[in-house]
Amino acid sequence: MGKKTKIGLAAAAVGAAAWAGSKVLANPNQRPAKEVLNYDRPIVLAHRGGSKLAPENTLAAFNRSAELGVNGFEVDIRMTNDEEILVFHDEYIDRTTDGAGRVADLSLDQLRAFDLGYHFIDLEGQHSYREKNEKVVLLRELFEKFPQMYINIDIKDAPETYEGSLVPSKLWRLIDSLGVHDRVVVTSFYDEQIDRFNLYAQNRIAIGAGENEIRKAYTAFTSQFGHLYQPRADVFQIPTKSSVFRLDSARFIAFLENLNIPVHYWIIDEPEAMRALIASGAKGIITDRPDLALSLISELEV
């Protein structure tokens, strides 16, 4: 046996011993159950209220999706300059005629002067909301108007900004004051914002996975040391693909499910894609077409 072969075999033996030792020492923790994630069928969350059915983040969208029978809403939040928590995605709001203004630089009263329906084109290609003057919505208003709804909240303000530094504590105080602890999930692309929020919530609120947490989980899954992964999120809300990596395999879903972490996929608008994800074990569909998702799930239950 050559020297290189002996070295290779020795390295393999060391690696196998390390893997076996880690299996003995590892104690992977399942995430504790959260009431908002206690469901026995795939759920449908209307993305920004169902933004292909009505102007996104408006009461028109939320009302329509609620009437359809969705389980909840997936919304983004930003803070205004008078420290109100607004249901809004973009950093800038379109003024329709004179440029754009940054949400964080405008007051709630200023923001309510804008028409969110101005650019919406419905499925028939019509400007069906142009004259209806749809207004911005506060997160508080959404909670109060839809007391039965699961609301997934995505913090959009970056942690290094002034508004981003305030929103985790402001959000916690709003949730706590309204007593809606058991019907929200709080997440963000920024892991730091999730961590900041949880400093106040102390694991009393279900939290999602930021980009770093998703990367960590996928790396663990594809390695030989998945048993060492200790999750810090209660639910994963992810796209089907990130860069060149597929995140929608049944094995990856099962890997997370074994840790008591359901997986929701966004933004899924095609029924066949919804069907495939549910067949692979997905527990939630986040969609701009809640009408199609609800119809498919009803069909699967027959």
Q: Which of 278, 287, 272 is nearest to 253 (CA)?
A: 278
Mean pLDDT by 10 residues, the chain (302 residues): 49 42 54 91 97 96 98 98 97 68 94 90 89 93 97 98 98 98 97 98 97 96 88 97 91 97 98 97 98 95 76
Confidence (pLDDT) at 10: 41
Residue with tokens 């999930």: 185
- Whether 248 contacts 280, CB under 8 Å: yes
Q: Which residue(s) pair with 245 in the sheet?
A: 242
Which of 89, 119, 127, 227 is flagged as catalytic?
89
Confidence (pLDDT) at 101: 86
> What CA–CA distance (Å, rounded) separates 239 from 236?
10
Residue with tokens 């810090």: 232
> What CA–CA distance (Å, rounded) separates 198 from 170?
12
| Token pair in block for residue 99 | 């440029």
Confidence (pLDDT) at 14: 39
- Whether 55 contacts 134, CB under 8 Å: yes
Local structure of 251: helix, strand or coil: helix
Local structure of 181: helix, strand or coil: helix
Kind of pairing, strands 236-238 and 263-265?
parallel
CATH 3.20.20.190 correct for 30-90+137-301: yes
> What CA–CA distance (Å, rounded) separates 135 from 146?
17
Annotation marks residue 264 as catalytic? no
Spatial neighbors of 45 by CB under 8 A, at least 6 apart, are 70, 71, 72, 73, 74, 150, 152, 264, 284, 285, 286, 287
Confidence (pLDDT) at 245: 87
- Whether 297 contacts 42, CB under 8 Å: yes
> What CA–CA distance (Å, rounded) separates 39 from 45?
13
| Token pair in block for residue 167 | 């929103």
> What CA–CA distance (Å, rounded) separates 250 from 285?
15
Confidence (pLDDT) at 130: 83
